[in-house]
């Protein structure tokens, strides 16, 4: 009898102990943080990366028209924004001085030519006489010397005549190209001096429907810039418009700018990148400042996934023994989750900008894959319409309350 009671007591103690252990385990599982697996869809999206720079809008072809002679501007036949043709007369300089210089050079040439003709005949005659030993060798050499000096003087005066004639032609200023006058630096009656530099009278742009942007790209970004890349840029004059272009040239010459204070300075090396742009409506004006975006990587509508989906692995402690993991041998893989089963899929990747990666094969578009695992938040979220407020928290001022102070 006593033995039966003792057995019953032992059994009850064992049952209670098992129940307590089970309760502890269940409690731990209940209190354990819940793992949530975020999934994304293999879908089309733009994969791009870019560098930014600042540049200046310029005409594709721009010619500065000057003069090589000094004088007074007599007539001007064009103005700002005038359309001109190649060879069209656009200005004339006063020709009085140049014409007199031409006439003086012509007279000098005529005199030297006459002297040359005389010495030439004299030399030929003396040569015949010398061959017949009718004159001395000294007389013959003198006639030869005079002949050669006369020829030299004539040639020199001929060059001076050609120069005077050419200078007179410079007084008639014509357009070297078809285009538009975008700058005029002189007025009628103004004196221009052609010294060490040719003075610029007009600036003519060939075709304003074809423009270019010369952008200064930082040395840290120039390695990714290539010819043919797509470019978008904006100008402050039209903040709502975005213009497009293409990289046409990367100039090898660099420039250095220095910035900073009197105690600290910083040098920045930049390279000029030329970008072509269409301008059919003539919105882009020369010398506008452009904010440039150069797409060093650009593939629209690429089948892709977030790059971190390729880094996900169903490993402990995020994945417990309750899950089944079916792996595969592949360099790049994506994981699908079906119930409690993770399945790896070998995929072929393409372009990547670090945020999204192109999927060339292995999974069809629309497949849901695991992107990452996160801990579910246990804190209760407040609804958007929940207006409960702590009585100790200051509230907004009462706008309906009138100020009684005057």
User: Residues 321-340: what's their mean pLDDT?
Assistant: 92
Q: Could you give the CA distance from residue 176 to residue 84 in angstroms, rounded to a whole number?
A: 9
Record the tokens describing residue 392, joined without a space: 């100790």
| 248 vs 377, residue with greater confidence | 248
Q: Quick check: 380 pLDDT over 60? A: no
- What is residue 335's predicted lDDT score, i.e. its pLDDT? 95
Q: Quick check: 278 pLDDT over 70? A: yes
Strand, coil or helix: what is 159? helix
| 383 vs 364, residue with greater confidence | 364
What CATH number was assigned to the domain covering residues 95-169?
A: 1.10.287.470
- CATH 1.10.287.470 positions along the chain are 95-169
Q: Quick check: 25 pLDDT over 60? A: no
- Tell me the β-bridge partners of 326: 343
User: Residues 145-159: what's their mean pLDDT?
Assistant: 96
- What is residue 264's predicted lDDT score, i.e. its pLDDT? 63
Q: Could you give the CA distance from residue 132 to residue 128 in angstroms, rounded to a whole number?
A: 6
| 286 vs 15, residue with greater confidence | 286
Is this prediction's pTM over 0.75?
no
Going from the C-alpha of 109 to that of each of 94, 152, 165, 263, 316, the distances in angstroms are: 24, 11, 12, 68, 104
Strand, coil or helix: what is 102? helix
- CATH 2.40.50.100 positions along the chain are 62-88+171-205
* Mean confidence (pLDDT) of the chain: 85
Q: Quick check: 376 pLDDT over 60? A: yes
Record the tokens describing residue 96, joined without a space: 């009085």
Confidence label for 381 from pLDDT (cuts 50, 70 and 90) = very low
Confidence label for 185 from pLDDT (cuts 50, 70 and 90) = very high
The angle at the Cα of 234, spanning 230 to 237, to the nearest 5 degrees, equals: 155
Estimate the crossing angle of helix 137-170 against helix 96-131, to 10 degrees.
Answer: 160
Confidence label for 87 from pLDDT (cuts 50, 70 and 90) = very high
Q: Could you give the CA distance from residue 398 to residue 27 in angstroms, rounded to a whole number?
A: 49
Q: 206-299 domain in CATH 3.40.50.1100?
A: no
- CATH 2.40.420.20 positions along the chain are 35-46+302-375
- What is residue 254's predicted lDDT score, i.e. its pLDDT? 86
| 400 vs 229, residue with greater confidence | 229
CB 312 within 8 A of CB 373: yes
**Burial readout 87-115 (b: 16 or more C-beta within 10 A, e: otherwise):** eeebbbbebebbeebbeebeebbeebbeb
In sequence order, which ranges of 171-261 are alpha helices (DSSP H)?
none
Phi-psi region of 201 (alpha: psi -120 to 50; beta: other; left: phi over 0): alpha
- Tell me the β-bridge partners of 277: 211, 245
CB 98 within 8 A of CB 168: yes
Note if the bond before 62 is cis, omega within 30 degrees: no
For domain 62-88+171-205, give the fold.
OB fold (Dihydrolipoamide Acetyltransferase, E2P) (2.40.50)
CB 106 within 8 A of CB 98: no
- What is residue 258's predicted lDDT score, i.e. its pLDDT? 73
| 272 vs 256, residue with greater confidence | 272
User: Residues 243-251: what's their mean pLDDT?
Assistant: 96
Q: Quick check: 406 pLDDT over 50? A: no
Q: Are strands 179-184 and 83-84 parallel, antiparallel or unpaired?
A: antiparallel
Q: 35-46+302-375 domain in CATH 2.40.420.20?
A: yes
Q: Quick check: 115 pLDDT over 80? A: yes
Closest CA to 333 of 348, 342, 346: 346
- Tell me the β-bridge partners of 106: none
Q: Quick check: 36 pLDDT over 90? A: no
Q: Quick check: 248 pLDDT over 90? A: yes
CB 157 within 8 A of CB 112: yes
- What is residue 194's predicted lDDT score, i.e. its pLDDT? 80
- CATH 2.40.30.170 positions along the chain are 206-299
User: Residues 213-240: what's their mean pLDDT?
Assistant: 95
Record the tokens describing residue 231, joined without a space: 């470019």
Q: Quick check: 241 pLDDT over 90? A: yes
Phi-psi region of 133 (alpha: psi -120 to 50; beta: other; left: phi over 0): left
């Amino acid at each position: 009898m006593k033995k039966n009671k003792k057995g019953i007591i032992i059994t009850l103690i064992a049952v209670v102990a098992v129940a307590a252990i089970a309760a502890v385990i269940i409690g731990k599982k209940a209190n354990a943080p819940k793992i949530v697996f975020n999934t994304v869809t293999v879908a089309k999206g733009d994969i791009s990366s870019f560098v930014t720079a600042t540049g200046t809008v310029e005409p594709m072809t721009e010619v500065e028209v000057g003069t090589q002679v000094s004088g007074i501007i007599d007539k001007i036949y064009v103005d700002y924004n005038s359309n001109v043709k190649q060879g069209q007369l656009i200005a004339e300089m006063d020709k009085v001085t140049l014409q007199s210089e031409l006439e003086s050079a012509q007279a000098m040439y005529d005199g030297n030519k006459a002297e040359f003709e005389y010495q030439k005949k004299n030399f030929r005659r003396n040569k015949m006489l010398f061959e017949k030993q009718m004159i001395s060798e000294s007389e013959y050499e003198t006639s030869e010397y005079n002949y050669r000096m006369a020829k030299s003087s004539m040639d020199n005066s001929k060059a001076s005549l050609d120069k005077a004639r050419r200078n007179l032609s410079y007084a008639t200023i014509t357009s070297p190209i078809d285009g538009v006058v975008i700058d005029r630096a002189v007025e009628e009656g103004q004196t221009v001096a052609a010294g060490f530099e040719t003075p610029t009278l007009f600036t003519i742009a060939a075709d304003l429907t074809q423009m270019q942007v010369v952008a200064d790209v930082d040395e840290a970004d120039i390695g990714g810039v290539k010819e043919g890349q797509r470019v978008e840029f904006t100008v402050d004059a039209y903040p709502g418009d975005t213009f497009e272009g293409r990289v046409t040239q990367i100039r090898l010459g660099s420039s250095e700018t220095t910035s900073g204070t009197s105690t600290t300075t910083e040098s920045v090396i930049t390279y000029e990148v030329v970008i072509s742009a269409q301008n059919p409506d003539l919105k882009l004006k020369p010398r506008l400042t452009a904010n440039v975006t150069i797409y060093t990587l650009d593939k629209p509508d690429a089948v892709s996934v977030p790059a971190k989906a390729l880094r996900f692995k169903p490993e402990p402690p995020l994945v417990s023994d309750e899950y089944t993991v079916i792996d595969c041998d592949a360099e790049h893989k994506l994981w699908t989750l079906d119930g409690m089963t993770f399945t790896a899929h070998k995929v072929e990747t393409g372009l990547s900008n670090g945020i999204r990666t192109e999927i060339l094969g292995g999974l069809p578009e629309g497949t849901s894959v695991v992107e990452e695992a996160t801990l579910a938040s246990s804190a209760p979220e407040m609804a958007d319409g929940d207006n409960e407020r702590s009585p100790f928290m200051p509230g907004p001022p009462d706008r309906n309350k009138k100020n009684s102070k005057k």
